[in-house]
Amino acid sequence: MKRKLYLVLLSLLAVFYSQDAFSQQNVSGVVKDASSGETLPGITIEVKNGDAATQTDENGAYIIQANVGQVIVARSIGYTTQEKEVTATGTVNFDLEIDQESLEEVVVVGYGTMRKSDVTGSISIAKGEDMIKAQNFSPLDNLRGKAAGVNIYSNSSQPGAYANRVVIRGTATINSSSNPLYVVDGVVMEDFHLLNPNNIERIEVLKDASSAAIYGARGANGVILVTTKRGTKDGSKNVSYQGSVSTSSPQSFMEVLDANEWITAFMTGLENENRWHGKDWSLDKTDWFNDPNYFDEQGNPLYNTNWQEEATRNAISQNHQLSIQQGDQESSVGAFLNYTDQQGIVNNTYNKRVNGKLAYDSKPKDWLSTAVNLTVNHTWGRYTPEDGGGQDARRTMIEMIPWYPIYEPDGSYTSSASSTVSQVLGFEGMSNPVAILDKQKRMRYNTQIFGNAALTFHLAEGLDLKTQFGVDKHERDYKGYSSIILNNLSMPNGWAAIQNSETFYWQEETYLTYNKEIDKHRINAMAGLSWQERTYNFSGSFTEGFTNDFFEWYNMGVGSTPSSPSSNYDRWAMNSYFLRAAYTYNNKYSATVTGRYDGSSKFGSNNKYAFFPSVGLAWNVSNEDFMADNDAISNLKLHTSYGMTGNSEISPYRSLANVSSGTLLMDGSRVPYSYISSMPNDDLQWEKTNTYDVGVELGLFQNRLNFDVSYYNRTTTDLLLDAPLPNATGFSSVMRNIGSVRNQGFDIMLTATPVQTMDFNWNATLNMNYNKNEVLKLGANNEDLLLNGWVGGPNSIIRVGENLNSFYGYKRDGVYTIEDFEAGEIDENQIGRPKRSSTQEILGKGTPDWSGSFINNFTYKDFDLLVDLQFVYGVETMQQFYHSTYDRFGITNGLKEILYGAYDGTNPNTNQQAVVLTNSGHAGQDTNVDSSWIVDGSFLRVNVIQLGYTFPSGLLERMGFSAFRVYASANNPFLFHSKDFNGYDPEGTSLGDSNKFGQNMIFFAYPRAKTFSLGVNLSL
């Protein structure tokens, strides 16, 4: 019976799956260019919602099997896709139109949109669907490498703790912010790096004056315009889910001494001190390492701890996005919900996000359209500091002595003072990194309410009046506690801190737009006005004096030595008037004029307002009659622009005389005090950037090969600097406009479809950016500005004729040798010491000449493969961690090269000084910033490799889905850099995410993560 039932079911399945085959017929046809009538080879022909596909031959002909009533689809790059139904004749011909939409793509330009073919400025475009493949927490990590002319420095691998540094066409300021302006759905946004990247539809980057001058005083550093997802307009109802789970681990570890190597290096230091420094140390290691808790009777270590492995982990993260979209031309709604949990690879670090977004668009009357957009974004996380020079975990995981275990026999954490050996040798005071990451809590919370509401009045055909009110509100909280047991951090009193800040930004903008096409004339005009205001409130409390770790920050009153509470407030406001007029004649010649008149409360009473104009021209050469018969060139456009933008991103009240106030102890009690702390400057004004830009867009072979190349020359004048004052004034400096900087370079974007067949396609994008930065003027005397003071003085310098991000230190020419001593050139105790120049000089720069990406997308049938490579070239990295990992050995651990590469009397050409000990009473190392710390910072990063599979549409229909894709990806799996670099990643900084001149200056860093993910994209 079972056998008969099996045969019946098998027969039914055979009939079900074969009935289409019995009714299929050969369908044939020819595909032609609708304009020229020429046949088109290589056109993809496929049956809609089926598996059959083929390509046209050299005569444009094809044959495919299909049923009567099925739909045949013809598609190719450069042409619009066409669909036709199969009839009983079995013949289906196609006349394909050139894809004008790709040529007339609409781009966001600020206060409106324009056809891409009409744009006269330099604008880079990135689509959300391309960026989201990387599945990073921050949208800036996803944007990296996708936009020409934009350098995004991913200086930290710690989730959410530190913002990326973004530089568009070079740094052009000293005291003002160098960050671009972020405008999301028409509203300026702070903390853009925390935005949910899953909500982004597309990004436009305004790079030159013609495009950015519409934002006037805030556009000098470039403008990033973000359009987020909304409801649908085609009557469809979509429900989609995107989810992924990933595992992250350290990409690499620094090569440090293990326990036995540390002992060997220590004994080598003793030998060298006896040999060249007149010491008489015992060379019996049992005289030095005799603590029975950590060493055996021969002085060998009982433990060998790899602190980097102990302080890091394999982290599991997840990301979930639910989207609901529906609507038509009259009304639409989009609702989006996201939960992201990104765990850091360093113990107990993480960042989480809950994000909700609602967008509603309606046209209740023919003369009125409305739009509402609301986002609530809450992020929270625990982090460990990556800036400063304290004994934090990122430092002690390298410096902690390797023969210490994690725990004492009684279960308590070890520190550098745990052994009796420490009492003799005097190790650097520190707790082990596992203890720090467990017992020090630093929590950040940020709740953002962001959105806008707009009314658009359709006054006449092509004439609209739009008024929009937007807000960006942030509640930021910090809560921290450091344990009473953490050596050289918070022992013995512990500390607790609570800080709260609130920013509230609002803007109201009203503007007219006029879009009209009359015969061969196309007009796009806009004029409006804007009001903006931002307020900031801060309060904080700090206390010490805890007897145990029970209360943490939950009861700060327990702390016996509280500090005075602190608070702060500031406010600034702007009022602006702006206009833009764009004109195109016969789809060939375009001109754009832009102007903005800005007023800001930040500047002096004599210079509150400034005007920022620009003009741009473009010529669509490919639309000329003499290009009509050119089959090779599909698109050729020349454009140029010149204009001025401004930078107003300084702290409020810098033009005023500031009053500093507080309290001090007098006769045993606190009394208030106040004094004037800065001199006013009524003439303080905006920094101004004048930009000249010229570019060419070239598309070849039906746009299968495209070039977009721009040259720019940006000169920033009236740089805001703190100019020194005579002591007789009672002030040390006053802020003035006294400097100038120039950036010039090229943005190069090449896109190509090298292979396009029926089953296999390859699309490639090469993005390259070249920038040369030069300081032109620094005040009346062009005096150097020395910055980032640390070991041996300033580590950075700003000098006329040089790059703004120049490293400063001594030149090292090897080490002094025995031969130098024998020649009478040095004293004996100088043998093995660094041979340095007598004065400091420029040693390199932290920003690259070249940066870019090479992104490849391959498809084979239903499989897709993404290979994203990113690179920088012509840059240096300052390894500030050499200060401890080379020059403080004996009281800390260090790099393996201490043992294997140091001068020993037989290697006179080494650059590494001889091993001597920094412990009290010993010879001590000679530490200073010099050229041995500077290495080539160029690298090639395999940013993303992703393999995906999209289920066929025919199968999806039977499953009830409209789209279903699964993928596996690897982020940052490989990094290739100079063999001389000994850290985690040559791109980074230990000077904080707001220090413009600390790029690639690395003291110690959070390890770089490599991440492997599995994900699914599903639509109903």
Q: Read off the tokens for 644.
A: 């001025």
Residue 441's nearest CA partner among 479, 393, 490 is 479
Of 791, 846, 804, 882, residue with least CA distance to 1001:
846
Domain with CATH 2.60.40.1120 in the chain: 22-98
The answer to whether the Cα torsion of 123, 124, 127, 132 is positive or negative is negative
Distance CA 1015, CA 1020 (A): 17
Contact 870, 993 (CB under 8 A): no
Q: What's the pLDDT tens digit per position in 451-500?
A: 999 999 999 999 999 999 999 999 999 999 999 999 999 999 999 999 99
DSSP class per residue in 86-149: --TT-B--EEEPB-HHHHT-EEE-SSSEEEGGG--S-EEEEEHHHHGGG--SSHHHHHTTTSTT
pLDDT of residue 81: 86
CA angle 592-598-600, nearest 5°?
Answer: 160
CATH 2.170.130.10 fits 102-242, yes or no: yes
The type of residue at 742 is R
Question: What is the spatial distance between Cα 721 and Cα 740, in angstroms, rounded to a whole number?
Answer: 10
Q: What residues does CATH 2.170.130.10 cover in the chain?
A: 102-242
Q: What's the one-letter identity of residue 94?
A: F
What's the CATH class of domain 22-98?
A: mainly beta
Q: Are 767 and 852 a contacting pair, CB within 8 Å?
A: yes
Taken in order 679, 682, 683, 689, the sign of the CA dihedral is positive
Q: How far from each other are the two terminal CA atoms of the chain, in whole angstroms?
A: 41
Sign for the pseudo-dihedral over CA of 969, 306, 979, 992: positive
Q: Determine the Cα–Cα distance for residues 816 and 955; give it in Å rounded to an integer.
A: 75
Phi, psi at 845, each rounded to 5°: -145, 155
Token output for 179? 């960050």
Tracing tokens 């409390």 back to the chain, one arrives at: 541
Alpha carbon distance 599, 120 (integer Å)? 27
Is residue 552 classed as helix, strand or coil in its secondary structure? coil
CA dihedral 285, 290, 291, 294 (to 10 degrees): 40
Please name every residue paired with 810 in a beta bridge, in sequence order, or none if there are none: 840, 930
What's the pLDDT at 6? 44
Give the integer Cα–Cα distance in Å for 319 and 338: 8
Which pLDDT tens digit goes with each residue over 328-382?
988 999 999 999 999 999 999 999 999 999 999 999 999 999 999 999 999 999 9
Give the span between the Cα atoms of 816 and 830, in whole angstroms. Answer: 7
**Are 395 and 428 a contacting pair, CB within 8 Å?**
no
* Sites in the chain below the pLDDT cut of 50: 1-22
Complete edge-to-edge strand list for the sheet that includes strand 94-96: 61-66, 25-33, 94-96
What sign has the CA pseudo-torsion 695, 697, 698, 704?
A: positive
Q: Are 54 and 47 spatial neighbours (Cβ–Cβ below 8 Å)?
A: no
Token pair, residue 792, equals 């041996």
Q: Phi and psi of 399, rounded to 5°?
A: -85, -20
Torsion sign over Cα 807, 813, 814, 818: negative
- Quote the pTM value: 0.88
Query: Phi/psi at 76 (nearest 5 deg)?
Result: -170, 150
Count of Cβ atoms closer than 10 Å to residue 149 Cβ: 28
Which residues have C-beta within 8 Å of that of residue 8, sequence separation ≥ 6? Answer: none
Beta-strand pair 331-343/315-327: antiparallel
Q: Which two tokens stand for residue 523?
A: 């007009």
pLDDT at 974: 96
